[in-house]
Amino acid sequence: MRAVALRYALAPACVLLAVLVFLSPARPALSLAGLFVFAVLAAAWFGGAGPGFLAAVLATFTLPHLIAVGYPLLGGFFDVPRFITFSLAGLAVGGWSFRRRRVEAALRLSEERHARAMEGSDAGHWDWNMVTDEMFVSERAREMLALPSGTLPTSRTEIMELVPQHPDDRAGMNEKVQAGIRAGIHVREYRVIPQAGSVRWLRSRGKVYKDAGGAAIRMTGSLTDITESMEALEKLRNSEQRYALAMEAAGDGHTDWDLVSGEFYISPRLLEIVGHAPGASFGDRADWVRRFPFHPEDRPKWEAAIAAHFAGQESHFKMELRIVVRGEVRWTSFHFLSMRDAAGTPIRWTGSIGDITERKRVEEALRASDERYSLAMEASEEGYVDSDIDTDQFVTSERLNEIFGIPRGTRFADRSDFLKHFRFYGDDAKTYADMIRAVGAPGGTDRYEFEFRIVLRSGEVRWLWTRGKVTRDAAGRARRRIGVLADITDAKLAEEELRESEARFRALTELSSDWYWQQDENLRFTYLSNQAAHLTGYSGESSLGKMRWEIVNMTPLTCSWAEHQVVLAARQPFRDLECRRLGPDGTVRYLSMSGAPIFDAQGRFRGYRGIGRNITARKLAEQALHESEARKSAMFETALDCIISIDHEGRVVEFNPAAERIFGYRRADTLGKELAELIIPPRLRAQHRQGLARYLKGGEARVLGSRSEMPAVRADGSEFLVELSVTRIATEGTPLFTAYLRDITERKRIEEALRQSEERYALAVAGSNEGIFDWDLVNDRVYVSRRAQELFGLPPGDLWRPRRDWRHILSFHPDDTPRLHDSIKAHIEGVRPTYDEEFRIVMSGGAVRWFRQRGVALRDASGKAYRVVGSIGEVTEKHKAAEDLGSLERKLRLAQRLEAMGTLAGGIAHDFNNILGAILGYGEMALRDVPKASRLARDLDSIMIAGERGRALVDRVLAFSRSAVGERVPVHVERVVREALDLTSANLPPSVTVQARLRAGVAAVLGDATQVHQVVANLATNAVQAMTAGGTLRVQLATERVDAPRAMTIGGLGAGEYVVLTVADTGGGIAPEIVERIFDPFFTTKEVGTGTGLGLSLVHGIVSDLGGAIDVASALGTGSTFTVYLPRSGDAVQPIEEKESALPRGAGQRVLIVDDEEPLVQLATRALTDLGYMPSGFTSSAAALEAFRADPDGFDALITDERMPEMSGATLIREVRGMRSAMPVVLMSGYLGATEGKADEVLQKPLSARDLAASLARVLHLQSPSRRSSARSSKRRPARSPTR
Amino acid sequence: MNRKGFVLIQEEDVLIRELLERWLGEAGYALTASENEVPCLVIVDVPDPQRAQALIHSLQAVYAAPILVLSGRFRRGLAGSAEAARRLGVKKVLPKPFTRKELLSAVATSLGED
């Protein structure tokens, strides 16, 4: 648009210029109309027809204003001829100039495009004027033609000379060009060698322009580098060539089927393979397949496989099948590759078919051979193994696998693989390994044979036999081992069974009590079993080869040797030939032999065989019986007791001489008579007869087998007592009874006398207060009378026991036993005339009682004691009285001494406090007057501190002395004990455990809680310190009513209620000799520096002050128990909750607690945590300061002890205040003096949680929930006046 | 300094008595009686607590003034308490040794000035 506007703007501009020229001084020389014509022409020339016409219109209208016009129109306003002139000139010139300009523009554009295309194109361009032979070559073409840089000659001939063309191509160049000119289109491909070794292919393509006469005048065209495609083409050609060669060489036929286009290719070799004539053609693939000479059986197989393959996704297809070529069946191998599109549909099917008939044949032959061999091996019972030692290939036959219990078909990688399938039995692995090693060794054996055992997976053991041969190379190295192997388990088992059977037989023979013998046909011994040796006393060998009658020391008993020989000669068996044989050791043995002849299958006599038996025992028994009979008879005759035998009817069958003498009958008169008639008093006869009858009917016998007493009657009618025992004689048939009777009249009389005597004695013993003992030294049994047992506190039990048992039952005091032992020994040995000792018995409840034992030994004729008899009485009271007296005296002494010490301590304290008062008072004044921080001030400070320490010490001494002034309120003992115990527990060594059983409830003691606390703390601390190796601290608290006054180790108890505190340890105990001194002030068993020696004296002072008493029980090695009795004063009135609710509480303020005593830190930490503060405890002042310095604003208050080893409380306060001047501080101090004023509050030790809470609340300006603060030991100390 | 009244001191230990006189004198108390002047306070040392009761009774029989008991025989924690004083029938018990401030405070307590 702008261009058009500019063009039109030319018209007025040109007209205006003409007017200006006309109005210039040059006017006279110029025609206005002429000027306008020029203006119109100029506008038309540069602007085109439109502007030319516009200029003509403008000129026409302007003209009349400047000059007079000849042909005026419209009142002289419009000059028509001039208008026409101007218009025509403008339009004509404008139209022409416009067209020309447009053509020029198009041309310019076209050229520009062409140049750009040439620049960007990969192709080069050339233009050859065939008339002048001039040629233009573009930059790219020049590059491609490898023309030298610099100005090129213009002639084509010269240019082409410069191109380094391949000589072959240069030669044919002109011909090609001429041919191109003739054809009108020139195409030539040629090679350029820009530098040695690199060849580039160029393609030149040109068009020929001819003149009207048909002569070629110009050729122009392009040049392309086709090196890449030529190379690719070359490669392709090579590849195809190679493939074709390879195919031919392989002998495989090749086919290629493009499923999309339907094209398919068959290589000549394939035609040959399948038996088609060379050059045979097929309509399509289906035709080819139809005519393919498949073996009738294989066609369906192939079809199925192909269908499956095309349906699937596999790319490879392999198959071996048979074809029939000229009546011969041949094997072919199909190996195809299918290419598929993205959807998996086959698009190309290419592959090869090879003739593998020969291979198949060889394989088949091999298989057949293998099979034959294998079958042969299978049929064999033996397994077969072939081990190639070089390759470690290990082949076994199926039978071998079977033998080894390995599944059929298992193949082994190598021998070690095979060995994994079974295991050897026992040491056979070694046998096998040794064998294999021997075989494998260079120059080893060529053949081997051995047996070994294996264990199958089933656990069955098999015996195997193997034999093999080793093939070796020239160097003697084993190359191959081939062996056979058989299962010989059955054979082995049979062998074993045979052996076992033999062993069994041998064992049986050996075990038999008889011996076996065998003789040959000459009656000479050929075998005697081992028993013969000990049964006859002679070894079997000594008899071998001999006839029986030739054997030494053999005497026949049942018949003579001659008689025996007759039996043998008749080849008759014989039984129980008894002989006597004198052994080599001189003993006589009786032997009995039995034998039978042996005949062989032909009935020929082969000898005798039989057994022999030692019958010596039987023979001797027979003899002994004879002797026994004789002895019995003698005894019967000479017995002192009556021996009478009766039959089952009660008739006498035997009546011995003693019976004759005692009863006054003659034997002959008694035989056959009824016994009852003879010797039983008439009143008892019926009873006797009934008893006998009852027994015979199968009932029980009262008299039989037992000893009884009964009256008997003599022939003269007098009665007397007899002791009777009846036995039944074991006979067959009717029973016989034998009675033994003894006249016991005299014995009865003596027994009665003894009984009476003993009765008298027993009555005397029973009446006595003392017990009796009777020690039977021979049997070592002791009789302890009922009374004595009673005294010993035993339940009723056996009176007689072995002495050992008594000593077990009675626990003698261990201190007494050595003395008792010595004493009784001395008496028994006759060194001391009597035995009289007192001893202690520990009763079942643990109480100890004293007894006195007196005894006297009874001695035999030689003076040897065989019995000790005596009495036992209790003497506990006597001893107790004496002990009590001693104990009371001791206790009194102790109390007096402690009292005296208390008084002394009080006096000393008084004087000392005066002295300390002076030192501290004057010291204070002196300090007031000296310049601060001067050396003198520091020295005075030291004096003050020393004075303070003295004061603290005296304060503790005072605790021991009874001061009789102090606060007395009901103290809730259990609570105080629990507090004190918590404190102690917090500081326990890990090896000590605490068992607390506090059962006093609200029971109260009138006194000061601090005092009670100190008692518990001191006792507990002592107990813990006594257990250096760890142990248990037991603390019990209970209430107890005391009914009768009692003396304790310290002090005495009146009747009344007591709160009893028991503190026990399991430490080393206290030696008895120092028990009385442990309460002394400054007495200590601890190492110097670990204790003050005031703990127990403090306890004593407090307990005495509270009106209580202390009891100490201690045993070395087991521990000590301190029992403190404090008089109970009703119940504590103030419930704990109320007290606690009154304590001021914190609200998360962080409090720094510093004290070198850890228990105190823990106590304070816990108490403040309970009260809602957040305390941080430190036992090191330096560490505390470090913590504060790390976070000065992290703490709200400081609670510190004064005296600490690292840094004093005063220093700590100064340091802290240096960082935070307004830091609230509570000072805990056991002392008074120089530290005052540095803290906001000073608390006196010992502290209570209540005081601590109150002080802390004050320094933090907390609102206390109650104004009722403790009045006891917490005092607000105003800051020291600045005028000091 | 105003004269505060006459304090009678019964202390056998010379050093302690002088110390008492000095501190009390500095505090404005008179240590010697003007004519017929009755003491405003009696300070008495109790060497033996067992006999404290008797001693105090005898003093109370002679003087109407409050009695401040001093003693080297009292434990600080216990004897300083009001309870101990109450048991002895006095307002204040001051254990020895004591500081000047403690003394003046005890005197003030005994005189009922605090």
CB burial readout A1231-1251, b (16+ within 10 A) else e: bbbbbbbbbbbbbbbebbbbb
AA letter at A108 = R
Which pLDDT belongs to residue A1138? 40
For B15, the closest chain A residue by CA position comes to A918
Q: Is A736 helix (H, G, I), strand (E, B) or coil?
A: strand
Q: How near does any CA of chain A get to the CA of B112, in Å?
A: 17
Q: Which chain A residues are closer than 8 Å to B47 by Cβ?
A: 907, 910
Q: Which chain B residues are closer than 8 Å to A914 by Cβ?
A: 13, 15-16, 72, 96
Decide if B52 touches A, using CB distance below 8 A. yes
Decide if A1078 contacts A893 (C-beta within 8 A): no
For A1247, the closest chain B residue by CA position comes to B77
Q: Who among A916, A965, A1281 is closest to B84 (CB)?
A: A965
Which pLDDT belongs to residue A1035? 92
pLDDT single digits (tens) A882-914: 777 777 777 767 777 777 777 777 778 778 888
Decide if B102 touches A, using CB distance below 8 A. yes
Which pLDDT belongs to residue A1264? 47
Structure-block tokens of residue A1094: 């005031």
DSSP A796: S
Decide if A610 contacts A548 (C-beta within 8 A): no
Element (H, E) at A848: strand A848-859
Q: Which chain B residues are closer than 8 Å to A1228 by Cβ?
A: none
Q: Is the pLDDT of residue B45 over 80?
A: yes
Q: Which residues in chain A show pLDDT less than 70?
A: 1, 68-78, 114-121, 241-251, 368-381, 505-511, 699-705, 730-733, 765-767, 892, 959-968, 1081-1082, 1084-1094, 1133-1143, 1159, 1229-1237, 1244-1249, 1263-1284
Angle at Cα A1252 formed by Cα A1247 and Cα A1257, nearest 5°? 165
Q: How near does any CA of chain B get to the CA of A1189, in Å?
A: 34
Q: Who among A913, A965, A966 is closest to B97 (CB)?
A: A913
Q: Which chain B residues are closer than 8 Å to A1272 by Cβ?
A: 81
CA distances from B69 to A104, A124, A968, B65, B90 (A): 142, 137, 19, 13, 8
Residue A251: closest CA among A157, A352, A156, A108 = A352
Q: How near does any CA of chain A get to the CA of B94, in Å?
A: 12
Decide if A1232 touches B, using CB distance below 8 A. yes
Per DSSP, what are the bridge partners of residue A323?
Answer: A294, A330
Q: Do A947 and B97 touch (CB under 8 A)?
A: yes
Q: Do B77 and A958 touch (CB under 8 A)?
A: no
Instruction: Tell me how far apart the alpha carbons of residues A1025 and A1078 are, in angstroms, rounded to a whole number.
Output: 14
Q: Which chain B residues are closer than 8 Å to A919 by Cβ?
A: 97
Q: How near does any CA of chain B get to the CA of A1226, in Å?
A: 18
DSSP B80: T
Decide if A186 contacts A208 (C-beta within 8 A): yes
Q: Which of residues 953-992 of A touch B (CB under 8 A)?
A: 954-955, 958-959, 961, 963-969
Q: Who among A906, A921, A967 is closest to B84 (CB)?
A: A967
Q: Helix A1181-1190 crosses helix A1209-1219 at what angle (to 10 degrees)?
A: 10
User: How many CB atoms within 10 Å of residue A1124?
Assistant: 27
Q: Is A1224 helix (H, G, I), strand (E, B) or coil?
A: coil
Q: Do B19 and A1273 touch (CB under 8 A)?
A: no
Q: Which residues contact B52 (CB under 8 A, 6 or more apart)?
A: A965, B46, B69, B71, B88
Structure-block tokens of residue A506: 């041998």
Decide if A926 touches B, using CB distance below 8 A. no
Q: Do B78 and A1232 touch (CB under 8 A)?
A: no
Average pLDDT over residues B79-92: 71
Decide if A899 touches B, using CB distance below 8 A. no
Residue A1049: closest CA among A1102, A1124, A973 = A1124
Q: What is the mean pLDDT of chain A?
A: 80
CA distances from A513 to A519, A548, A583, A615 (A): 20, 20, 18, 11
Q: Which chain A residues are closer than 8 Å to B78 by Cβ?
A: 963, 965-967, 1008, 1010
For A1270, the closest chain B residue by CA position comes to B81
Q: How near does any CA of chain B get to the CA of A1040, in Å?
A: 29
Decide if A919 touches B, using CB distance below 8 A. yes
User: How many CB atoms within 10 Å of residue A811?
Assistant: 14
pLDDT single digits (tens) A960-993: 665 545 556 788 888 888 888 887 777 788 888 8
User: How many CB atoms within 10 Å of residue A1207?
Assistant: 18
Instruction: Tell me how far apart the alpha carbons of residues A963 and A69 are, in angstroms, rounded to a whole number.
Output: 163
SS3 content of chain A, % helix, strand, coil (to 5): 45, 25, 30
Q: Do A963 and B75 touch (CB under 8 A)?
A: yes
Q: Do A963 and B98 touch (CB under 8 A)?
A: no
Q: Are strands A383-388 and A393-396 parallel, antiparallel or unpaired?
A: antiparallel
Q: Do B99 and A967 touch (CB under 8 A)?
A: no
Q: Is A384 helix (H, G, I), strand (E, B) or coil?
A: strand
Q: Is A332 helix (H, G, I), strand (E, B) or coil?
A: strand
Decide if A1222 contacts A1284 (C-beta within 8 A): no
Which pLDDT belongs to residue A747? 82
Q: How near does any CA of chain A get to the CA of B13, in Å?
A: 7
Share of chain A above pLDDT 90, in %: 2
Q: How near does any CA of chain B get to the CA of A955, in Å?
A: 5
* Strands, E assignment, A689-752: 707-713, 719-729, 736-743
User: How many CB atoms within 10 Å of residue A685?
Assistant: 16
Q: Who among A947, A1008, A1281 is closest to B78 (CB)?
A: A1008
Q: How near does any CA of chain B get to the CA of A1200, in Å?
A: 19
Which pLDDT belongs to residue A1123? 92
Instruction: Tell me how far apart the alpha carbons of residues A898 and A107 are, in angstroms, rounded to a whole number.
Output: 145
Q: Do B80 and A917 touch (CB under 8 A)?
A: no
Q: Do B100 and A965 touch (CB under 8 A)?
A: no
Q: How near does any CA of chain A get to the CA of B35, in Å?
A: 31
Q: Do A965 and B101 touch (CB under 8 A)?
A: no
Q: How near does any CA of chain B get to the CA of A1224, in Å?
A: 23
Q: Do B16 and A911 touch (CB under 8 A)?
A: no
Which pLDDT belongs to residue A918? 86
User: Could you tell me the pLDDT band of residue B97, with boundaries at 50, 70 and 90?
Assistant: confident
Q: Do A963 and B49 touch (CB under 8 A)?
A: yes
Tally helices (H) and strands (E) across chain A: 39, 49
Instruction: Tell me how far apart the alpha carbons of residues A906 and B47 are, in angstroms, rounded to a whole number.
Output: 9
Q: Who among B15, B50, B75 is closest to A918 (CB)?
A: B15
Q: Which chain A residues are closer than 8 Å to B75 by Cβ?
A: 955, 958-959, 963, 966
Q: Do B13 and A951 touch (CB under 8 A)?
A: no
Which pLDDT belongs to residue A1277? 39
More confident residue, A907 or B105: B105
Which pLDDT belongs to residue A637? 78
Identify the burial level of A1252 via C-beta atoms within 10 angstroms of its C-beta, where 0-12 means exposed, 13-18 middle and 19 or more buried: buried
Q: Is A665 helix (H, G, I), strand (E, B) or coil?
A: coil
Q: Do B15 and A922 touch (CB under 8 A)?
A: yes
Q: How near does any CA of chain B get to the CA of A954, in Å?
A: 9
